[in-house]
Structure 1
């Protein structure tokens, strides 16, 4: 199976500007291609991943990926999908965000070798351009009627769109043209909402070059869930690539909790497992869904890719400890990940277990606390305590920082020191 056949099998291709032309190009030469993202936040989330993972698939077939961080376009804001103007961010915030995103993207690509990835920032070639040069050298080639026909612009005409956001698609077109000129970049890929911006780039390349141009565009469908809800959200909000925003354990849990109806689709879109491996997992979903082999494979592949094998093993360890109740085996850093969202209480010197249960509002009264302990309903770091006179020892404080108290089967409280 060649690259385009594999992309079609995975459901990755949504639109192409010239399918036959791109096929002929890829059959005859190794190309450079790019995908970009604007640094509107200091981290990407999983909704950004598929285009970049697709770029990596091209790299695995010998092509050179160009990864663009939009330091310039991020200062303007893409009107795509927006009903109102974005709040403009300062250059300092944009550049800080750019650095954070670059580190995350570096985990996905190979930067060594003949087709090593190149990372660029469009701020580098736009920050010195003055408005006269922009209007004469670029704006002259893009007609107003052409821009008004773009869905992203037309949809905003009634509610209003500033000249700033109106020109966003021209700035992105400049990126494609710049990469075409300086890196022989022949293909831009992006999400389905980027079709208008990609075709603007092709239009500018066509207008600014006398010779016959051979550049192409491809978009990727919006990832959806089978139940119609938005992909990429957990109970805590977006699933970020930044481990400070979404811990590797939370990241792992998001993927392992994928519904049976979605898991094969996600394996195709997000992982680099082969067709044969995915088809075997699909059979497992159908015949032995209780084993959740496909979900485990998805969670392992994604956590290893984005965070590292070490982070994956730590996430598995936390998951197993929480399932078994053997939380004493966890380190303090692992407890911070696994118990990030459980209720917590900072101990004020209480060491008597009954008093601590009441102070932390685990039990409503001392009488109830004694009853809970006596009934064996309370565990300290996974060990059942039945002594109502129990006093916490230093050994009950994991690395001197945490004690995990559970009342009943599921009610955890994290005691901090």
Structure 2
């Protein structure tokens, strides 16, 4: 079996790593316990998180033990990395609910039988800390002068950085120390924006335990057009089918820019790398086959094969102009709602195709909104019962985003 470090490197995951040669040898010769932290800032993981989940799956398949660390404690502070303002404060109840949803989602991707993977929650130790004891044991090892040179903090200094947020690095570092002590965890992995935080824990263990541990980060992925992967005008692409339907999830990946196909196939699927390169090299209309494979493979992992097939069938039908229902997103209204009519701008926002009336006006003026393949020209258009065919009509935004309206 190939060394998992080489696999991760060949597929394009790795950004930075400490003691590269030593870590590669360690991963090739021992079963290593490692962890990834997930702050519970929402009630579902996103497609952006899926990169780290893929890393965990690759590592577990190679015989290593992942710890998915839920940030029940650190979420109460909020990571300032990459932020220009303070994160929204969540209640403990909201954080606990979000963490429970994360735990459920991890079970789809990792094998937790017989301790092959672990879910921990840093609330188990962070919420019990005594401030003075913590600062005497941990805070004494951190230099404020050094911390102020880090990008995660420098970006916030102009608008103001609270001591509350300044403590985040200490807590994340303490997480690594606790997992080292409790599980012999010797490696922390995360996104490249976590490099400073991860090094804090790596250095803390060296000072307190006189042992060597390791750090590895992965590139924060953006599309060729510069947009963060997994983000749309409507918001994040969620792994929860109630927040992002399997069809929408499939369509997001099916609409991947030609320039990103090979990269996303390598990072988001388990297809052999030779096949990834072959599909990524396709030109012209043939690249659409690679996009279908990408969308199908990822949707299958996240939502199951049945939903992936339904989403693929619906996507193909719409592409061919057949307007089959499949798993196309829909909203059901009571028939009485359209007796007096609903303005097109209001309808677009009600079903989530636009965020505001101004966005709807702009799209209509740009011929970007259709009903049953007929362009809407009038921003004051009212949708009434006579517009429905067999109690249904199809809204379309742009060329590829569909939403069906049903009445009962």
Does the pair score TM above 0.5?
yes
Shift of 1:305: 1.1
Shift of 1:312: 0.9
1:161 matched to 2:161: yes
Aligned twin of 1:373 = none
Aligned twin of 1:414 = 405
Alpha-carbon distance in structure 2 between the residues aligned to 1:253 and 1:174: 41
Name which of 259, 262, 267 aligns with 1:261: 259
What is the CA deviation profile of residues 93-139 of structure 1, one whole-angstrom value per residue up to 9, with x for unaligned ones?
111111112222222212125x6211111001222222122122222
Shift of 1:405: 6.0
Alpha-carbon distance in structure 1 between the residues aligned to 2:10 and 2:192: 18
Aligned twin of 1:304 = 300
Give the alignment of 1:362-401 within 5 angstroms: none
Shift of 1:153: 2.0
Aligned structure 1 segments of 4 or more residues deviating by more than 4 angstroms: 324-330, 358-362, 410-413
Alpha-carbon distance in structure 2 between the residues aligned to 1:328 and 1:266: 28
Shift of 1:234: 2.5
Shift of 1:346: 4.0
Alpha-carbon distance in structure 1 between the residues aligned to 2:42 and 2:337: 40
Aligned twin of 1:382 = none
Is contact 1:34–1:188 with CA below 8 Å preserved after alignment? yes
Aligned twin of 1:186 = 186
What is the CA deviation profile of residues 354-384 of structure 1, one whole-angstrom value per residue up to 9, with x for unaligned ones?
xx8x95779xxxxxxxxxxxxxxx98xxxxx
What is the CA deviation profile of residues 184-215 of structure 1, one whole-angstrom value per residue up to 9, with x for unaligned ones?
111101001000100000111011114xx121
Is contact 1:318–1:338 with CA below 8 Å preserved after alignment? no
Is contact 1:345–1:413 with CA below 8 Å preserved after alignment? no
Shift of 1:324: 4.7
Alpha-carbon distance in structure 2 between the residues aligned to 1:192 and 1:169: 15
Aligned twin of 1:223 = 221
Is contact 1:260–1:289 with CA below 8 Å preserved after alignment? no
1:348 matched to 2:336: yes
- For residues 37 and 406 of structure 1, do their structure 2 counterparts lie closer, same or farther at Cα, with a shift above 3 Å needed? closer
Alpha-carbon distance in structure 2 between the residues aligned to 1:244 and 1:404: 22
Alpha-carbon distance in structure 2 between the residues aligned to 1:259 and 1:24: 37
1:294 matched to 2:285: no
- For residues 405 and 237 of structure 1, do their structure 2 counterparts lie closer, same or farther at Cα, with a shift above 3 Å needed? closer
User: Structure 1 unaligned runs (5+)?
Assistant: 351-355, 363-377, 380-390
Shift of 1:306: 1.1
Alpha-carbon distance in structure 2 between the residues aligned to 1:79 and 1:240: 22
User: Which structure: larger Rg?
Assistant: 1
Is contact 1:104–1:306 with CA below 8 Å preserved after alignment? no
Aligned twin of 1:134 = 134
Give the alignment of 1:209-288 within 5 angstroms: 209-210=209-210, 213-283=211-281, 285-286=282-283
Shift of 1:413: 5.9
Q: SS of the counterpart of 2:406?
A: strand
Aligned twin of 1:97 = 98
Alpha-carbon distance in structure 1 between the residues aligned to 2:255 and 2:41: 28
User: Structure 2 unaligned runs (5+)?
Assistant: 345-370, 373-384
> TM (normalized to structure 2)?
0.81
Shift of 1:151: 2.2
Shift of 1:67: 0.6
What is the CA deviation profile of residues 61-91 of structure 1, one whole-angstrom value per residue up to 9, with x for unaligned ones?
1101111110000000111011222232111
Aligned twin of 2:392 = 403
Alpha-carbon distance in structure 1 between the residues aligned to 2:145 and 2:173: 16
Aligned twin of 1:110 = 111
Alpha-carbon distance in structure 1 between the residues aligned to 2:266 and 2:329: 28
Aligned twin of 1:370 = none
Is contact 2:221–2:229 with CA below 8 Å preserved after alignment? yes
What RMSD over aligned residues (CA atoms) do the two structures have, in Å? Answer: 3.0
Aligned twin of 1:41 = 42
Is contact 2:314–2:325 with CA below 8 Å preserved after alignment? no
- For residues 316 and 94 of structure 1, do their structure 2 counterparts lie closer, same or farther at Cα, with a shift above 3 Å needed? same
Q: SS of the counterpart of 2:223?
A: coil
1:17 matched to 2:18: yes
Aligned twin of 1:387 = none
Number of corresponding residues: 366
Q: SS of the counterpart of 2:216?
A: strand
Q: SS of the counterpart of 2:24?
A: helix
Is contact 2:318–2:324 with CA below 8 Å preserved after alignment? no
- For residues 92 and 280 of structure 1, do their structure 2 counterparts lie closer, same or farther at Cα, with a shift above 3 Å needed? same
